[in-house]
Chain A
């Protein structure tokens, strides 16, 4: 079980209050699809994504980015049992979506980068970075948990 101290919970709550689920979710997914192009393989039903312009103007990318970021927000609301909370989603990613779990880390990295872009050096301190890297690592691990 992952332990969160009071400082970490406070950092996550105060940063998350500034997150724009739609815009930031879109940016995180867009960066993942552009910087790690093999991830587009999972979204062939989204239509055109061969160039960055295609990805940016694809409404399905925007919608899915929002969905993913909202799911991260839900995990935050269940911080004391992220593993239990994400167990169904983990089964879905393994049994139906067949996503290589290494990709969860890539998306997590891009969520961290989007927060860095948004908050800037003064607010996105090493302490904030460490806390959010721990959060995305815990979420990745929870999403991988039901794989078999």
Chain B
């Protein structure tokens, strides 16, 4: 079980209150799909993702980015048991979506970079450390039901 101290919980809660789920979700997913192009394999049904222009204009990318970041936000009230909270989503990614779990770390990395570029200097080293712990915990939880 992952332990979060009072400072970390406070940091996550106050930081998450300022996240723009639609814009930050979209930007995070855009970055993933552009910088790690093999990830597009999972999103054939989104249509054209062949260039950065196409990715930027793609409404499915915007919608899905929002969905993913909302799911991350849903973990915040469940910090004490992220693994349990994400068990079903983990099974879905393994059994139905067949996503290589290495990609969860890549998305986490791009969410972190998106937050750094959105929040600038308020994305301090302390916020970064706590946020990286959150995305790493979520990536591990999403991998936990893989078999």
Contacts and interface: CB of A to CB of B under 8 A. Distances in A.
Interface in A80-126: 109, 112-113, 116-121, 124-126
Interface string B27-62: 100110011000000000000000010010000000
Interface residues of B, number: 23
Nearest to B121: A117
Interface stretch (B68-76, B86-94, B123-131): B123-131
A4 to B, nearest CB: 16
Contact of B35 (A116, A117, A118, A130): A130
A127 B117 contact: no
A35 interface: yes
Contacts of A62: none
Contacts, number: 57
A143 B55 CA distance: 34
B9 interface: no
What bracket does the count of chain A residues touching chain B fall in? 20 to 34
Interface of B: 27, 30-31, 34-35, 52, 55, 109, 112-114, 116-121, 123, 125-126, 128-129, 132
Interface of A: 30-31, 34-35, 52, 109, 112-113, 116-121, 124-127, 129-130, 133
